[in-house]
Amino acid sequence: MIALQGWSVSGQKMGFCRNTNVHSYDECQRTKCPFSLGCQLLSFQEKATSALVVGITQERFYMLRSSGNLDMLLYRLLPDGRLLPRRYIIFDEKHQMAQIHTLTKPLIDQASTEFNALIRKVESTDSTVRSLQQRLGFCVERIFQALRSKLCISTEYGIRDIPVGVCTLTQDEALQNARDYYQFQEALLSRQVRYLTKSLREVFDVMAYVYEGKPFFFSKTNGFCIFHITPPKLCYGQCQTILFDATAEVDADYRCLEHTRFLRGRPEHAECAVNYEIYDHPDLNVSKSAMEKGWKLQAFGTYIGEILRETKGDIFLCTYKNLSEPLADYLKTHLPPEEFNRIPLMPDRERPTIPYLGGTNGSNMFNHCTNVIMLGYPRLDPQTYLTCTCAAFGEEQVSPALQALSPQDLLNGSHYNLLSLPLVNDYVTHHLAARLEQEIYRSALRNPDFDGDIRIYLFCPPPAVLKILQKRIPGTTVLYKDLPKCIELSKRMCRSFENGQTSFRKLMDFLSAWDGTRIRVVDLRDRLGISPAVWKDLIADPRIKEWFQDNHVLRSGRGINTTWYITGAQCA
């Protein structure tokens, strides 16, 4: 068995490549490197041709696939010189089955920069490099920028970008420039392989498609880009592919694959009780943009404290990466140590860090938790969802629906209209359900012998996503329509009035620090700077009355002689 190692950080630490000037396959000069005779990486590659079993990373697989060099993986060299097809390709997790080819300005710039390395790699001249860069600019960047300029629309507010759509190079544009482009591409393809850097291959993948006059997708949501997708597949040569993916039946990426079948058998698992706690109040929206509101962190931090006091067992709390450290800081400051310690943190971090979406992949360190709180949803950006939908269902299926949207429709809300396209919406729903299922299974559910209770807390989950989850992980559901009192209080406490504290916030700050000793109401009102009219409405607020009742606040006297106090804390 041979593992084809790559230029990874771990590989460098293990000394697989001793040439400190090399950081990728494109930079490797096999015939000129002073370390080539004892190079383990080159040795691995040589031995892989005859090895019974070859292991490679996904990144290496993508590289071989895009460069058309998968044969070294698909065939084994026998001692008599014959090539024997390997039997299996095994992926231990889902990989990108479709090739998504994307052309951007940074990619073109990178391809141009990589030409400079040819002077060192193949002893090319500066004049040759300059010529290549000029032809790249003429045949690729000039057309790219021309498309970028024309994909706009004139509105009453001026020229606006069309955020996403389908475009075709006009016949005149194709005829005028195709000959020069194909000569440039052929010139490089006929040279040594070192001329075809990774970036340049990606540029050619897209531009060849564009010059054929075929419709291609474009997006301006994160900078202008052009993309097209090679349909997904799992069959390579005569190999049979085995892919391990626990959520494959949910994920839309497998819908249109041909010549595939699911292995339906499930491992044995002890019976356990799953309880969904669903909060449906709109103020509890935990989308990434909603969580940026100033009051959300404190409000959810307070409520997590209540959940800790009302439940047993540890809690797998998962949120967005940008909130993982601030939320940990808030909880550590406001919770007793014994409660805070029930929330396992990310390992090996300088600051306490709550587990975050995308950072827990493959982790087993949370499998003792019997409560799951999802304080966020692992969504992708609209452009990525569009490309993934095209990969899953085919560009020809998505294109008509996208073309039916007028530029004005897109300008009135590009994200909404894009995500509301039926196929895109279907992909988003199944993608989110699959990723939520993966996070939920970080808990004790992942243990085959677990037979206890699991509580799953979800905030404003999309109904279609929740339906899929409840089918995949059956259990009882409790739905809460009202806003929890502590969250409502936190939200109100964070409000401001003319860039200052509200009267409600001033009074609640006083009450939270008050030791219960007797105080004249008129003195308190003057101290807090609250007018008699506002004070009257404030005291009538149900939340203030409830606080008085819960804390056994008593009052004596009338008018300006009215005092408040708490029994047992009166001054002599």
Q: In what order do the strands lie in the sheet with 553-556?
A: 519-520, 563-566, 553-556
Residue 213 lies in a domain: yes
**Angle, in degrees to the nearest 10, between helices 105-116 and 198-211:** 130
The three-class DSSP label of residue 422 is: helix
Same domain, yes or no: 121 and 76: no
Same domain, yes or no: 354 and 447: yes
Give the CB-side neighbour count of residue 350, counting CA atoms within 13 A. 0
Q: What per-residue confidence (pLDDT) applies to 544?
A: 80
Q: What per-residue confidence (pLDDT) applies to 498?
A: 57
Q: Tell which of 439, 459, 487 closes a domain.
A: 487
Same domain, yes or no: 172 and 108: yes
Residue 474 lies in a domain: yes
Per-residue pLDDT of the chain (572 residues; tens, 9 = 90+): 888 776 666 676 777 788 877 777 667 777 778 888 888 888 888 888 888 888 888 888 888 888 778 887 899 989 898 999 999 989 888 888 888 899 999 999 999 988 887 777 667 788 888 998 999 999 999 999 999 998 888 877 888 888 888 888 877 766 677 888 888 888 887 765 566 777 888 899 899 888 888 888 998 887 899 998 888 888 888 889 999 988 998 989 988 888 888 887 777 888 899 999 999 999 999 999 899 888 889 899 999 999 999 999 999 999 999 999 999 999 999 999 999 999 999 998 999 999 999 999 888 999 999 999 999 999 988 888 989 999 999 888 998 988 887 777 777 665 556 777 899 999 999 999 999 999 999 999 999 999 999 999 999 999 999 999 999 999 999 999 999 988 887 777 666 555 677 887 788 778 878 888 888 888 888 888 888 887 887 788 887 888 788 788 888 888 888 888 887 654 43
Same domain, yes or no: 210 and 337: no
Residue 357 lies in a domain: yes
Residue 414 lies in a domain: no
Q: Please give the Cα distance from 216 to 463 (Å, whole number).
A: 33
DSSP conformation letters of 3-39? EE--S-HHHHHTTS---TT--SGGG--TTT-TTGGG-
Same domain, yes or no: 278 and 371: yes
Residue type, 61: F
Q: Tell which of 230, 252, 286 closes a domain.
A: 230
Same domain, yes or no: 112 and 41: no
Same domain, yes or no: 312 and 170: no
Q: Please give the Cα distance from 395 to 414 (Å, whole number).
A: 19
Same domain, yes or no: 72 and 188: no
Name the domain count of the chain: 4
| Domain boundaries, position 166 | 99-230
Q: Please give the Cα distance from 218 to 226 (Å, whole number).
A: 4
- CA dihedral (62, 68, 69, 75) positive or negative: positive
* CATH code: domain of residue 287: 3.40.50
pTM of the model: 0.81
Q: Please give the Cα distance from 512 to 504 (Å, whole number).
A: 12
Same domain, yes or no: 209 and 123: yes
Same domain, yes or no: 119 and 75: no
Q: Give buried/exposed letters for 483-496 (b at 16+ CB in 10 A, else e).
A: bbebbebbbbbbee
Residue 126 lies in a domain: yes
* CATH code: domain of residue 514: 1.10.10
Q: Are 340 and 347 in contact (CB under 8 A)?
A: no
Q: Tell which of 170, 195, 230 closes a domain.
A: 230
Looking up tokens 């600051």, which residue turns up? 351
Residue 395 lies in a domain: no
Q: In what order do the strands lie in the sheet with 164-167?
A: 99-104, 225-230, 216-219, 164-167
Q: What would the two tokens of residue 286 be?
A: 């935990």
Taking the chain, what is the end-to-end CA distance rounded to the nearest angstrom?
A: 85
Q: Nearest to residue 3, comparing CAs of 45, 62, 61?
A: 45
Q: Please give the Cα distance from 228 to 217 (Å, whole number).
A: 6
Angle formed at CA 354 by CA 436 and CA 456, multiple of 5 degrees: 40
Read off the DSSP letter of residue 449: T
Residue 421 lies in a domain: no
Same domain, yes or no: 366 and 288: yes
Q: Please give the Cα distance from 423 to 392 (Å, whole number).
A: 10
Residue 554 lies in a domain: yes
Same domain, yes or no: 331 and 463: yes
